[in-house]
């Protein structure tokens, strides 16, 4: 038994969650778009174009889709939970950041 642990063998039927990986990729894409939008808006001194705003709204929707997909992937049986948990945390944070940004934008009017 000790030999198996040293070599790192795992005798299990579990697989990586494909939904969890997809959700993590979508959340990472939303983070990348957020960074690009913030950098572009900073370079234009806050005077962003309509395309910049539509990229932000699309990224917010992408974050919500990633959050829903990540929550669904947590309910899968016989799968490892690393990617689904990472996806839930990442997509929840980016969706919250986008929502807070929009709320602050509406209150500033």
Does any domain span residue 101?
A: yes
Beta strands in the chain (DSSP E): 15-16, 79-80
Does any domain span residue 10?
A: no
What 3-state class would DSSP assign to 12? coil
pLDDT above 80: residue 6: no
Please write the tens of the pLDDT for every residue from 39-86: 998 888 878 788 888 998 999 999 999 999 999 988 878 778 888 899
Does any domain span residue 3?
A: no
**Which pair of tokens denotes residue 106?**
């509406």
pLDDT above 60: residue 3: no
Over residues 95-103, the mean pLDDT reads: 91
Residue 78 pLDDT = 76
Does any domain span residue 11?
A: no
Over residues 81-101, the mean pLDDT reads: 91
Q: How many domains does the chain have?
A: 1
On whether the pTM is more than 0.85, the answer is: no
Does any domain span residue 5?
A: no
Does any domain span residue 94?
A: yes
Instruction: Give residue 61's domain range.
Output: 17-107
């Amino acid at each position: 038994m000790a030999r198996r642990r040293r070599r790192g063998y795992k005798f299990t039927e579990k697989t990586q969650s494909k939904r969890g990986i997809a959700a993590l990729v979508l959340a990472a894409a939303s983070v990348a778009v957020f960074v690009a939008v913030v950098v572009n808006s900073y370079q234009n001194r806050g005077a962003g174009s309509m395309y910049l705003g539509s990229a932000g709204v699309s990224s917010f929707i992408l974050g919500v889709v990633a959050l829903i997909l990540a929550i669904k992937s947590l309910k899968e049986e016989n799968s490892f939970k690393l990617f689904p948990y990472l996806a839930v945390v990442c997509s929840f944070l980016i969706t919250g950041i986008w929502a807070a940004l929009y709320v602050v934008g509406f209150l500033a009017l």
